[in-house]
Structure 1
Amino acid sequence: MQPDWDFPQPYTMALAPSAADIDGLDHTNNAVYVQWCEKIGWAHSETLGLALADYRRLDRAMAIRRAEYDYILPTAAGDALLLATWLCATDGKLAMERRFQLVRESDGATVLRGRWDLICIEISSGRARRMPAAFCDAYLPAVVAPTA
């Protein structure tokens, strides 16, 4: 079943909860979803041309200022899932927004939505700093608008 994505042109990653991901309520532990979002966020950034080594070389990083997750439906061990991410907004200076949508492949149901508000920081000081040209060159062209 083709997912009904919240935004166009998703960057996707196939996932399936393992037995170790399941909690005492017999569903995927919420912390696992957070880890998956971090994993796909880095993978997407690397695909766009910015890896952790680039962040360190440039002494800049996009740090999570705020994160929110809506846990809509539970998932179980072995469920085939597809996680998508997008960069959805930026001021082109300090801030960016990343969105997530997790879909169960068997029925196309969205099981999680997430959002990160990101801010560019200077790694060495931890202070907010303007995005370097390399960030703008990689990230800005990837920003998508909501579908009509």
Structure 2
Amino acid sequence: MADFPWDHPNPHTLELTVGPDHIDGLKHTNNAVYVQWCEQTAWSHSAALGLDLACYQQLDRAMAVIRGEYDYLQASREGDELVVGTWIVSWDGRLSMERNFQILRKGDAQTLLRGVVRFACIELSTGRPRRLPREFIEGYGPAVLESTP
């Protein structure tokens, strides 16, 4: 994966193959599927950092999406092998963070999608914004590419 033209170094990656259930009436991967793949990759990265769903529930905290922006650059088709990369590119160390996503086709290393998603920490039981708990700071902090707390 290091040979791919990643936007940032050392992405957390998830590999997948486009299946028939990902294809829409235009015979390419449906745009909503790309968003789901980014979500799956973000969860995979969080779990790798020790912050899985069980941890979120135990802490009564979560990083909730507040804004997502996706640039669809090229289509993928059934059978294409893809790699989704993600990075936590910034955070304020208190309430919010931002992830970048990039989806590449393995066969030709072309970037199919770039995404930016902003998250805010919320209390699960109320849905209200809350400061990042110590566990989030310790788990996510070392993974942030540029920190501005």
TM-score calculated relative to the size of structure 2:
0.95
Give, in whole Å, the separation in 2 of the partners of 1:5 and 1:21: 24
Once the two structures are TM-superposed, the CA of residue 124 in structure 1 deviates from its matched residue by 0.8
Count the aligned residue pairs.
Answer: 145
Name the counterpart of 1:106. Answer: 107
Give, in whole Å, the separation in 2 of the partners of 1:5 and 1:86: 11
- Describe the SS at the equivalent of 2:132: coil
Once the two structures are TM-superposed, the CA of residue 20 in structure 1 deviates from its matched residue by 1.1
Q: Which amino acid aligns with 1:134?
A: E
Could you list the per-position Cα deviations for residues 25-68 of structure 1 after superposition, in whole angstroms to 9, with x for gaps in the alignment? 11000111111111111110000000101101101000000011
1:7 aligns with 2:27: no
Give, in whole Å, the separation in 2 of the partners of 1:35 and 1:53: 20
Give, in whole Å, the separation in 2 of the partners of 1:62 and 1:105: 30
User: How high is the sequence identity, in percent, across the aligned residues?
Assistant: 52
Structure 1 segments of 4+ aligned residues over 6 angstroms from their partners: none
Give, in whole Å, the separation in 2 of the partners of 1:80 and 1:123: 36
Once the two structures are TM-superposed, the CA of residue 9 in structure 1 deviates from its matched residue by 1.0
Once the two structures are TM-superposed, the CA of residue 101 in structure 1 deviates from its matched residue by 0.2
Q: Which structure's relative contact order is higher, taking Cα pairs within 8 Å and 6+ residues apart?
A: 1
Asked whether the 8 Å contact 1:61–1:123 carries over to 2, the reply is yes
Give, in whole Å, the separation in 1 of the partners of 2:17 and 2:4: 16
Give, in whole Å, the separation in 2 of the partners of 1:108 and 1:36: 18
Compute the RMSD of aligned alpha carbons: 1.0
Once the two structures are TM-superposed, the CA of residue 3 in structure 1 deviates from its matched residue by 1.1
Unpaired segments of 5 or more residues in structure 2?
A: none
Give, in whole Å, the separation in 2 of the partners of 1:53 and 1:82: 26
Give, in whole Å, the separation in 2 of the partners of 1:26 and 1:36: 18
Name the counterpart of 1:89. Answer: 90
Give, in whole Å, the separation in 1 of the partners of 2:108 and 2:54: 39
Asked whether the 8 Å contact 1:82–1:105 carries over to 2, the reply is yes
Once the two structures are TM-superposed, the CA of residue 96 in structure 1 deviates from its matched residue by 0.2
Q: Which amino acid aligns with 2:32?
A: A
Name the counterpart of 1:142. Answer: 143
